[in-house]
Structure 1
């Protein structure tokens, strides 16, 4: 795995930069938000990389910071999102802007991204929120509904209940509304997240 390269910039042809490291030239695909941060040709630069190997091609994707690389790696885990689409997403908005759009469930903003339809936008919101819960407190320093659930709104709420509340938020319910739906079900160690969600939804019909 090639995780980082430090070398001299030989060529810049968006979105590809050619970097010479110990006499070897590496072609690196970069999101435009990172590409624009590069110094001019014949300058030394450090790039954090992600190496993709397919049957007929090997590709290096590069980023100017570790947070962009982490976000890229989480993006390609999302159903329907491959490396090229992830690169396109991060070329169209910064990591911070993307996090904010997912946080606020701004589907209209996400579907404006090249290659992102409504179905993919929904997958991004549902699947990326879970990833953000684990990584973005240190990387992005933003407030999230997950933090709200796990702090101000989540006193005495179990992990299973918090997971169910998060799923309801992903379905379009407001955080307080989702919390109330789960609290009304009462406490039970035998209830799974799936059961909580199904029961909560059944009670509002």
Structure 2
């Protein structure tokens, strides 16, 4: 199993990256929470990975932290949760936020995620409550300092004139309806925001922290 990839970031887009490792390039699916942590194109990147093999496909999933990767592995063991839905969950909530939802039995936050209905949310709360103990030692509550750093990161200036369109397309790819995506972006969009910032703030408003 491929558990870790270290190489040069060749391409990046919301949902996937291409990483070159001593010649071969690996196409890797990622959640949006990992996309926000990627370096610039041409720089070295390290991703914790999960290699999934099915009869009709082989997929490599990458995560910025080992905690996110290990939570992904627990999520796909839940009845009715496949890799695609698990990536969607970790696109809307990082591992720390998801664990806090489980601990607080917050089904309302989970049903706001694309593809997660009431029954799935309840199943996640029940089954994951018994499993998150396997992540003991990796989960560290967010500090005020880290929250401040996240807020500062959201002020990164825009480079692309199509940032709003890219952000809407990313939300639609995540499973939100076009009207929901447009409404969420219009609500928080300001001059100079990058697509990464727009996606981050839109998801934050759509899904309670």
Q: Tell me what 1:128 maps to.
A: 128
Deviation at 1:56, TM superposition (A): 1.3
- Partner in structure 1 of residue 12 of structure 2: 12
Distance apart, 1:13 and its partner CA: 2.1
- Structure 2 residue runs without a partner (length 5+): 142-209
1:43 and 1:109 map into 2 onto residues whose CA distance is 35
Q: State the distance in 1 between where 2:36 and 2:117 align.
A: 27
The question of whether the paired residues in 1 share the 8 Å contact of 2:96 and 2:140 is answered with no
Q: Which residue of 1 is the match for residue 139 of structure 2?
A: 140
Superimposed CA distance per residue, residues 60-102 of structure 1 (whole angstroms, 9 cap, x where no aligned partner): 0001111000000000001110000000000001111111111
Q: Provide the residue aligned with 2:32 in structure 1.
A: 32
Q: Which has the higher contact order (CA 8 A, sep 6+)?
A: 2
- The residue aligned with 1:157 is none
Give secondary structure in 1 for the equivalent of 2:137: helix
Match in the other structure for 2:163: none
> Which residue in 1 is equivalent to 2:98?
98
Q: With structure 1 as the length reference, what TM-score do the two structures score?
A: 0.67
Q: CA deviation at 1:108?
A: 1.0
Q: Give the total of aligned pairs.
A: 141
What CA distance in whole angstroms lies between the structure 1 residues aligned with 2:134 and 2:60?
26
* Bigger radius of gyration: 1
TM-score by length of 2: 0.66
